[in-house]
Amino acid sequence: MNMNWKWVTLFFVIVFLFIIAGCGLMEKTVLADLVIKNAKVVTIDKANPRAEAIAFKQEHIIAVTTNKKIQRYIDEITTQVIDARGRLVVPGFNDAHVHFGGIDPDYIDLRYISDPKIITEKVAEKVAQAKPGELVRGGRWEHEMFFDKKWPTKELIDPISPDNPVVLSRADGHSVLVNSFVLRLSGITKDTPDPPGGEIQKDKKTGEPTGIIKELARRLLKYGAVRVQRTPKEEEKRRIREWQAAFDMAAKLGVTTVQLPPGDFEMFQKFRDMGKLTLRAYVGQRLDGLTEEMLQKYGDLRKKYPLENDWIRFGFLKGHIDGTLGSGTALFFEPFEDEPEKSGLPFQSYKELERIIVEADEMGFQIGIHAIGSKGNHLTLNAIEKAREVNGVRDSRHRSEHAQVLIDEDIPRFAELGVIASMQPTHCITDKRFAEKRIGLERCKGAYAWRRLLDTGAKIAFGTDYGVEPLDPLEGLYAAVTRKDRAGEPGEGWFADQKLTMEEAIELYTLGSAYAEFMEDRKGKIKENYLGDVVMFDKDLMIIPEEQIMSAKVDYTIVGGKIVYKRSD
């Protein structure tokens, strides 16, 4: 009897050992397609903030662990292994507000110029290449960067463009410089009144239009442009080439998701169908002038591109309440310091803003309102609060797009109302050059108030507002941790108490942005079962001097477990 029990016991021990061994074998069969090891992984996962290695299987992360433990996921033949050699790895950057699209090789880029004469030179070059009547486009100029800080006028471009319409957008996209050719076609003269929500800038002495057209006055413009003749096939090839350039730029910069307010689904879907889509897209639509027909269309798009999708998803409805600080059209309670006769231009009445927000909220849409000035943000919060009163409270995650200047009373309301501050840190270091001149020191205390918002429990999502600002996340990270101009001015930075740590800035650019698009449960962290979107840098952003941040390079961008960019130089 005792002998039988010994055999039974031995049998169960052997079976148990086989089970343990079998489990180990089963675990080892889960082999990774790609592994990064010997890395400094900043995960943005509070439960596991640092790691050394990551394993990817298909589109997802299957392990975030140590160099020793990662070995079990590696097959010497089938697993691609990247030896990071100590380099920094962070989640892929998610640009929460970006005007993303094809890169037009004929567009005249005037970013960062300080001499207005360069406008004349570059337009002359492009006009020389154009046919008579062909539209010449460009922009991103910023008159506050000119040595005289004066608005440019049509006299800069009239002499060299008598036979071509010329349209040059200001960096913020809310004002344009046009030549007399365009003014004539548009019927704009010194007697043309400003339309509601817009301004035709006029010379104070002569009353003649200067060529600067602001906000909704841009709707008056007619170009009468001669179109370049291309066959449909040629046009399609051109569009694909332009969009491919945009995707390549994003991959090179470590941008793995873009949130468009609004955008076109067509090219994202086309590249997805071709197997060439290298970033994820949250594509918004227009809210202003909301109608039943628009709501029906948006409902159909939402079904076609649901939130459950990981690649192309229906985004938020984008509306406007005001303009920009740079153009002097942001909406404030008090007049501008440098233009005391003005306090901004309302894009629409508060009554209309409230109507469209309440209607869209009732249909379950997420809403983002372009709000720059303190009054613009105040009215936006009021309308969202009204929607909650009328329709009830839900996890709506409505957004203030920019949330640039706030009054003290409104800062805690973001958390109270569940409104996301969708902010672009580079706006701070661009606008700070003229912000105090425009709105004074006291109002600037509520400008780009990242720390004050976070301290109340508000959610912040970072982005760039590309093409208003460069797409490069490194410029945003630099701005967030320094609040200094790009040249690296001395001192502690502009309102230094609002600066963030590097890890906080990365979190707002990854997990914060993922939350803004309802994806924090599967994106924005380097975590097991999360989507495999990560970026590797050549420098450790966590410890390098601040003046080196913008010179760091992306070595790898990985989206959905696949390498979409590898630096070769």
Q: Tens digits of per-residue pLDDT, 129-141? A: 998 999 999 999 9
Is it true that domain 108-220 has CATH number 3.40.50.720? no
What pLDDT is recorded for position 3? 46
Instruction: Name every residue whose Cβ is closer than 8 Å to that of residue 407 and which is 6 or more positions away in sequence.
Output: 333, 374, 377, 378, 446
Average pLDDT in the chain: 94
What 3-state class would DSSP assign to 553?
A: coil
Confidence of residue 282 (pLDDT cuts 50, 70, 90): very high
User: What DSSP string describes 7-32?
Assistant: HHHHHHHHHHHHHHHHHHHHHHT---
What pLDDT is recorded for position 246? 97
The kind and range of the H/E element at 505 are: helix 502-516
* In the block, residue with structure tokens 């009204």: 386
Q: What is the DSSP letter of 172?
A: T
Is residue 510 within 8 A of residue 524, CB to CB? The reply is: yes
What 3-state class would DSSP assign to 541?
A: coil
Burial 3-31 (b: 16+ CB within 10 A, else e): eeeeeeeeeeeeeeeeeeeeeeeeeeeeb
The kind and range of the H/E element at 55 are: strand 53-57
Is residue 188 within 8 A of residue 194, CB to CB? The reply is: no
Give me the residue spans of the domains in the chain.
Answer: 108-220
In percent, how much of the chain has pLDDT > 70?
A: 95
94: pLDDT strictly greater than 60: yes
* In the block, residue with structure tokens 């958390």: 415
514-533 per-position pLDDT tens digit:
999 999 999 999 999 999 99
Select from 559, 376, 543, 540 the least CA-distant residue to 39.
540
Is residue 163 within 8 A of residue 133, CB to CB? The reply is: yes
CA distances 321 to 34, 176, 349, 368, 474, Å, are: 47, 19, 8, 11, 30
CA 475 to CA 468: how far, in whole Å? Answer: 13
Let me know if 230 is exposed, middle or buried by CB neighbors in 10 A (0-12, 13-18, 19+).
exposed
Instruction: Name every residue whose Cβ is closer than 8 Å to that of residue 375 and which is 6 or more positions away in sequence.
Output: 322, 331, 332, 333, 343, 344
Instruction: Name every residue whose Cβ is closer than 8 Å to that of residue 302 and which is 6 or more positions away in sequence.
Output: 314, 365
In percent, how much of the chain has pLDDT > 90?
A: 90
Q: Say which amino acid occupies 182.
A: V
Q: Is the peptide bond before 467 cis (omega within 30 degrees of 0)?
A: yes
53-86 per-position pLDDT tens digit:
999 999 999 999 999 999 999 999 999 999 999 9
What pLDDT is recorded for position 27? 46
300-336 per-position pLDDT tens digit:
999 999 999 999 999 999 999 999 999 999 999 999 9
30-59 per-position pLDDT tens digit:
899 999 999 999 999 999 999 999 999 999
What 3-state class would DSSP assign to 119?
A: helix
**Which of 13-22, 92-101, 265-274, 467-476 has the weakest average pLDDT?**
13-22
Select from 383, 361, 359, 362 the least CA-distant residue to 371.
383
Neighbours of 340 (CB within 10 A): 9
Can you list the pairs that 78-82 forms with residues at least 24 positions away whose Cβ atoms lie under 8 Å? Answer: 78/31, 78/33, 79/31, 79/32, 79/33, 79/34, 79/35, 80/33, 80/34, 80/35, 81/34, 81/35, 81/36, 81/37, 82/34, 82/35, 82/36, 82/37, 82/536, 82/556
CA 38 to CA 67: how far, in whole Å? Answer: 6
Counting DSSP H helices and E strands in the chain, the numbers are: 14, 24
425: pLDDT strictly greater than 50: yes
